[in-house]
Structures are given as C-alpha cells and as structure tokens.
Amino acid sequence: MYISILFIIVALVLIIFISKQEEFSKAAKVSIMISLGLSILIAILYEYGSYKYDNQNRVKEIAFKQGKTLICKDQNVTNKTYLYEPGTASLMPNSKDSTFIGAIYPIEDCILAK
C-alpha cells in the first residue's frame, strides 16, 4: 500500500513538473499526463484488488485460529489436525498426526464450513 501511495505522490510531482516545462510540446505534455494518470489508476485498482484478496484470506485465517472448520479440496481442516503457516499462507499437517502427511492446502483454496 505504501508503495502505491509513494508512486502516486511521485507521479503527481512529475505531472506538475512536466506541465511547467517549456521544452515539451502541448501534445507531449498531454500524452505524458494521460500515461501518468492511467498509471495512477492502475496502481489504485491493483491496491484495491490486493486488499480485497488479503482481507478474504485474513477472515479464513482468523476463523481457522478460532477453531472453526475450513473445507479444502473436500477435506475438513481444523486447527487440531493442521497448523497455519503464515509465510506461505497455507495449512500444513500437524506433525503429531501422520494421517494427513503431505496434504498442504493454500488458504486461498479453502472455504469456511457452515
């Protein structure tokens, strides 16, 4: 998020700087400003999509940590048999239970059980 905010600030500074330059033609100024404007729009849309995606996974993570069941590829997954690995955002089998060894599920592929 901070990278996009920094990008937007730099782009706005560039727009102001370019608009005051005499060496650019009016057509060049307009095309540069449109390009920067589109870049800002893309950065905002990317951040929104990333936030929405992260928020959905966070809801599942919190529910899992609270002991609720997730369904991952037709498998019921609870915090009694699986551990949440934050680095990879995945659910890994608890080493104490050899029944589920090898079954690793990305949290994005899971849904909350009703």
How far are the Cα atoms of 20, 31, 51, 103 from residue 83, in angstroms, in the given order? 57, 52, 24, 12
Residue-level pLDDT, tens digit, the chain, 114 residues? 566 777 778 877 877 777 777 777 888 878 887 888 888 888 888 888 888 878 888 999 999 999 999 999 888 888 888 889 988 889 988 876 556 667 889 998 999 887
Token output for 104: 């690793």
Q: At what angle do helices 26-65 and 2-19 cross, to 10 degrees?
A: 170
Query: What is the predicted pLDDT for the residue at 32?
Result: 80
Nearest to 111 by CA among 65, 66, 72: 72
Query: What is the predicted pLDDT for the residue at 106?
Result: 92
The domain spans of the chain are 1-66, 69-114
